Structure 1
Amino acid sequence: MEHRQIWLYLAATAVGVIGGIAAPQSASVLAASINPVLGLLLFATFLGVPLSRIGRAFRDVRFLAAILALNFVAVPIVVFGLSRFVSADLALLIGVVLVLSTPCIDYVIVFAGIAGGAKDRLLAAAPLLMLVQILLLPAYLLLFAGAAAISSIEILPFVEAFVFLIALPLAAAALVQWVAARSKVGVRIEKVTQTAMVPLMMATLAVVIGSQISAVGERLGKLLLVVPIYVAFLAVMLVVGIATARVARLDVAASRALVFSGATRNSLVVLPLALALPASLDLAPLAVVTQTLIELMGMLTFVKLVPRLVR
């Protein structure tokens, strides 16, 4: 499954699309299962990285400075420019700003690892990236979408996402690794969880896409406006990420991890935020899901392309 995971992820996406269109009544049930499935995926992801290395990764000031500069200096400039193309539609604008302004802290670790990126450094940076994006997101919305966007956002879903999708899975993974070092039971849990990594990723993709794809199809005309924006973002951030890594003089593994961090966005975590918006902005969560679909296709390309560009 690990050797064929790219094709399996495509298959999971197809299942989500077909299932969501064939049974639109299942959308609410699938939406309610997003966070539990994503939490299990992150637990398995964290478990696959020796947490004893996190302290060492935090001492890598150069990498942390590069990842912060890329995501919170370069990305906002790119997002501002691209978001002007939908500035006339507040719902689409909020969706684009929400998803493109927030760096990924979950499956970026999976995809970067496939491409030979430094998973431990991304894991060490994840809490910092989450905290900074929580603090800066209101400023991005105010600058890029105006005061009306700020009044529509609730911060509680973001805090809940951090606690249930980052803090708890990370603490659980640390506990299992601690037990594994002292008993056979912990070792078995580690093996079972690592075996389940690919199925969990498949389940996450199928659930997220299946829960929203029917609504996406109904509003396809407007959502097509954001597709070129998301494609352009991936292309621009590929170049900017590589350039940032070279300026920072990072090694190969860190450079690949940096490129993935700049290109992948926090769509699965900000989706609850978008879903909490009022009904008048119901296009915003659909714009987030559309980005997930485009980004998935992009990541399947990145895992092949980035190792060739960053040697």
Structure 2
Amino acid sequence: MVVAAAVGLTVPPVAAPAEAAITPVLGLLLYATFLGVPFGSLTAALREGRFLATVLVVNFAVVPGIVLVLSRIVAHDEALLVGVLFVLLTPCIDYVLAFTRLAGGAHARLLAMTPLLMLVQIALLPAYLVLFVGSEVVGAVEFAPFAEAFVLLIVIPLLAAALTQAVAARSEAGLRWEQGVAGAMVPLMMLTLAVVVASQIAGVGARVGSLLLAVPVYVLFAVVMVPIGIIAGRVARLDVPGTRAVVFSAATRNSLVVLPLVLALPARYDLAPLVVVTQTLVELIAMVVFVRLVPRLVRA
């Protein structure tokens, strides 16, 4: 991340190709993550009613109240407020799976409910925006990128991983490929962090003065969601992997998916995309810490 920031700031033209690389690199990361999921367990994961209910309640009942309180820090600036609301009201469906797996969380269970998380946030985001900022913002949003991101980042990598597992079960070469790709998850995570930071750091740096107010909102959100996720897991009597997964789902937001939505907003919200990107940068640092911290806080 530090190297990528240095490159992005000293060589600004790298931003465009790095931004174009985000989706394919993230897709590869998720393909490697999905290879570690036994697909036979997904049906069983969908029957984990307490886990599903806990993730939904935390993300769509608890989080909006916390966001409403924290967003008062930037409520004086509409562009800042809109960017903060877009990103914090939408739970992550992509690289949260990789971080959850690295922390020993129930990534298979979380994967099984990604379609539900996607559908619920598409349905509820407009309602939350109307409540928090009014209907004008909602009328300016095109929600098609949600569906596009779901296909590119979840459906295609998931199908490719299932096909790879089927081939690996019948072929030694396929098995070696599966093991090699699954073993590349950490380098792919490093590459994902690098392209995200390199593509966005120059834009954030150019408006850093205006964006500084959003940083404490994001830091406070990440800090607050860890104990809330742990408490929710214990109240629901989830096992250790399930509780860890709830923590990561609660703390990680859908920034890379909502960014195209925010980019399509009218010109007066021109700062909002950088507000979303700033959340990504803060969150990535938090996730690197949480991968080590959460297993220590949530253990048998």
Q: Normalising by structure 2, report the TM-score.
A: 0.95
Match of 2:86 in 1: 98
1:41 aligned to which of 23, 29, 38: 29
- Unmatched tracts of structure 1, length 5 or more: 1-12
Q: After superposition, where does 1:152-301 map in structure 2 within 5 Å? A: 152-301=140-289
One-letter amino acid of the structure 2 residue matched with residue 51 of structure 1: F
CA RMSD of aligned residues (A): 1.4
Match of 2:295 in 1: 307
**C-alpha deviation, 1:195, in angstroms:** 2.6
Contact 1:103 1:262 in 2 (8 A): yes
Aligned partners of 1:130 and 1:15: how far apart in 2? 33
**C-alpha deviation, 1:305, in angstroms:** 2.2
**C-alpha deviation, 1:100, in angstroms:** 0.6
Tell me the matched-pair count.
299
Match of 1:146 in 2: 134
Contact 2:26 2:95 in 1 (8 A): no
Aligned partners of 2:18 and 2:189: how far apart in 1? 15
**C-alpha deviation, 1:85, in angstroms:** 1.8
Aligned partners of 1:89 and 1:263: how far apart in 2? 24
Contact 1:87 1:145 in 2 (8 A): no
The DSSP-based 3-state class of the residue aligned with 2:113 is: helix
**C-alpha deviation, 1:273, in angstroms:** 2.2
Contact 1:158 1:269 in 2 (8 A): yes
Aligned partners of 1:144 and 1:171: how far apart in 2? 38
Match of 1:10 in 2: none
Mean alpha-carbon deviation: is it higher for 251-260 or for 300-309? 300-309
One-letter amino acid of the structure 1 residue matched with residue 198 of structure 2: G
**C-alpha deviation, 1:307, in angstroms:** 1.9
Q: After superposition, where does 1:110-121 map in structure 2 within 5 Å? A: 110-121=98-109
**C-alpha deviation, 1:40, in angstroms:** 1.2
2:49 aligned to which of 44, 61, 64: 61
Q: Deviations over 1:252-303 (max 9, x none)?
A: 1111111111111111222222233333322111111111111122122222
2:74 aligned to which of 65, 69, 86: 86
Contact 2:42 2:112 in 1 (8 A): yes
Match of 1:133 in 2: 121
- Unmatched tracts of structure 2, length 5 or more: none
Q: After superposition, where does 1:20-39 map in structure 2 within 5 Å? A: 20-39=8-27
Aligned partners of 2:217 and 2:234: how far apart in 1? 26
Mean alpha-carbon deviation: is it higher for 161-170 or for 28-37? 28-37
Match of 1:72 in 2: 60
One-letter amino acid of the structure 1 residue matched with residue 127 of structure 2: A
Aligned partners of 1:37 and 1:115: how far apart in 2? 21
The DSSP-based 3-state class of the residue aligned with 2:170 is: coil
The DSSP-based 3-state class of the residue aligned with 2:61 is: helix
**C-alpha deviation, 1:69, in angstroms:** 0.5
Aligned partners of 2:35 and 2:28: how far apart in 1? 10
Structure 1 segments, 4+ long, off by >3 Å, are none
**C-alpha deviation, 1:192, in angstroms:** 2.3
**CA distance change for structure 1 residues 275 and 203 in 2, over 3 Å: closer, same or farther?**
farther
**CA distance change for structure 1 residues 255 and 120 in 2, over 3 Å: closer, same or farther?**
same
Q: Deviations over 1:114-136 (max 9, x none)?
A: 22211211111222111211121
**CA distance change for structure 1 residues 276 and 205 in 2, over 3 Å: closer, same or farther?**
farther
Residue 109 (1) aligns with residue 110 (2): no
The DSSP-based 3-state class of the residue aligned with 1:51 is: coil
**C-alpha deviation, 1:232, in angstroms:** 0.8
